[in-house]
Amino acid sequence: MDDQLQRLSGFILPWLDRMPAWLQALFIVGLSLVLAWVIERFVVATAAQMVRSTKTNIDDQLVEGLRRPLFLSIFFIGLVMATQLLALPAALTHITLASLGTIATIVWLGFLIRLASLALGTVSKLRGSYEFVQPSTLPLFDNTAKIILFLGAIYFIFLAWGIDVSALVASAGIVGLALSFAARDALSNIFGGMSILADRPYLVGDYINLDSGERGQVTHIGLRSTRMLTRDDVEISIPNSVMGNAKITNESGGPYEKFRIRIKVGVAYGSDVDQVETVLIESAKQHPEVCKKPEPRVRFRAFGASSIDFELLAWVEQPVHKGRLEHELNCGIYKAFTREKIKIPFPQQDVHIKTKQGG
């Protein structure tokens, strides 16, 4: 094969050298056009045929989007070679090459923007390591990618025209620094939102407690703020810069979403502790919304000032049921203690009044 190519080049090159420069340039342009057409028709078409059998259509769109940039790039290479062959005036050669570079950069910019949008759209539908790109945050990442690609394209266009970009980069750095100081609160919230989406200390639907006292269900995680719905059906919005530095207790976190509630109760001294434990466990087991596994349990916590202190530990399916089930269990335990004649003491004080005799 190599011998055949050498023989072919040995036949064509001497013949091409005998042509005028303009005819050589025309031949190279025509050859590049034919080569671009062949690659588009056969190579790209073959690749498109191969990716049609895959389950996703992303690769189909990718191959289809490559047609125009690949065709124009091969054709432009021929035009560049032809321009250099013609030995045009330096100014005209510079303008021609810069114009070709500009057009090629714009064509590839369009392809890369489309590729970035496809990639981000795909990642936003995944579940796992890339959940910081969500449908709600997709426009931000998409616009950021477009801005970066657009700035990169401008940089390469300036290089093609021979424009010194160092002064512009320095000016852009100064402007960016000024903007960062002016919008530091907004940027702090945005970076906080990105860290929350990446680290995922809580998800939409989780019940969380903040160290400032708020408790509720997370309804939305944005790049600027997190919104949560309290048990009073009041939605509050908290800046992500605050959420990033707050101590958060995620009641929905852990190996499962089940939540343990604690019922503290004191009984009078002299009560049968075994009977108290049995009554508390039965009260929990008889409630239909208390989990069977893990089983309810009772702990003897302390000898109080006027009572023996017990604590019933029971699990419920979701943290949202905490308040209602605590109420229902308290009512059930009080009725059971009354029925079993178990006394619940209350603090009492005896006041003895002494009078002075013979006064």
Fold match, 195-250 / 259-339: no
User: Cα dist. 284→263, 281, 331 in Å?
Assistant: 10, 5, 11
pTM of the model: 0.57
- Helical pair 273-285 and 322-339, crossing angle rounded to 10 deg: 130
pLDDT in tens for each of the 359 residues of the chain?
A: 345 434 544 444 455 666 677 777 788 788 888 888 888 777 777 777 776 777 677 777 777 788 888 888 888 888 888 888 787 788 888 888 899 999 999 999 999 998 888 888 877 777 655 556 666 567 667 878 888 899 889 988 888 888 877 766 666 666 666 666 656 777 777 777 777 777 778 888 888 999 888 889 999 887 788 999 988 889 999 998 888 888 999 988 877 778 899 999 999 999 999 999 999 999 999 999 999 988 999 999 999 988 999 999 999 988 888 889 999 999 999 999 999 999 998 877 778 787 776 55
Residue 122 CB-half CA count within 13 A: 12
SS in 3 state form for 268-296?
CCCCCHHHHHHHHHHHHHCCCCECCCCCC
With contact defined as beta carbons under 8 Å apart, do 282 and 290 qualify? no
Report pLDDT for 246: 87
Rounded to an integer, what is the distance from CA 126 to the centroid of its chain?
Answer: 10
Out of 3.30.70.100, 2.60.40.10, 3.40.50.880, 1.10.150.170, select the CATH number for domain 259-339: 3.30.70.100
CATH number for the region 195-250 comes to 2.30.30.60
249 forms bridges with which residues in the sheet?
Answer: 209
For residue 249, give the 3-state DSSP assignment: strand
Q: What are residue 234's phi and psi, to 5 degrees?
A: -115, 125
Report the alpha-carbon distance of residue 66 to residue 154 in Å, rounded: 21
- Both tokens assigned to 253: 């976190």
**Cα 222 from Cα 136, distance rounded (Å):** 7
Query: Count of CB atoms within 10 A of residue 8's CB?
Result: 10
User: How far is the C-alpha of 197 from the C-alpha of 129, rounded, in Å?
Assistant: 10
Distance CA 211, CA 251 (A): 13
Contacts of 160 (CB under 8 A, 6+ apart): 97, 98, 101, 102, 105
List the one residue out of 325, 201, 195 whose CA is nearest residue 258.
Answer: 325
Q: Cβ(158)–Cβ(150) under 8 Å?
A: no
Between CA 244 and CA 221 the distance in angstroms is: 12
Query: Which burial class, exposed, middle or buried, applies to 333 when counting CB atoms under 10 A from its CB (0-12, 13-18, 19+)?
Result: buried
Per-residue pLDDT reduced to its tens digit, 149-163: 998 899 888 888 888
What is the Cα–Cα distance from 145 to 151, expressed in whole angstroms? Answer: 10
Domain ranges of the chain: 17-179, 195-250, 259-339
Alpha carbon distance 174, 168 (integer Å): 10
CA 223 to CA 157: how far, in whole Å? 33
pLDDT, tens digit, 9 for 90 and up, residues 95-131: 888 999 999 999 999 999 988 888 888 777 776 555 5
How many other CB atoms sit within 10 Å of the CB of residue 115?
A: 17
Q: What's the pLDDT at 120?
A: 83
pLDDT for res 179: 61
3-state secondary structure of 234: coil
Determine the pLDDT at residue 331: 95
In degrees rounded to 5, what are phi and psi of residue 108?
-70, -30
Beta bridge partners of 230: 216
Closest CA to 58 of 112, 149, 113, 121: 121
pLDDT at 340: 93
- Burial 280-311, CB ≥16 within 10 A → b, else e: bbebbeeeeebbeeeebebeeeeeeeebbebe
Q: What is the pLDDT of residue 307?
A: 92
CA angle at 30 for the pair 26 and 36, rounded to the nearest 5°:
145
pLDDT of residue 261: 92
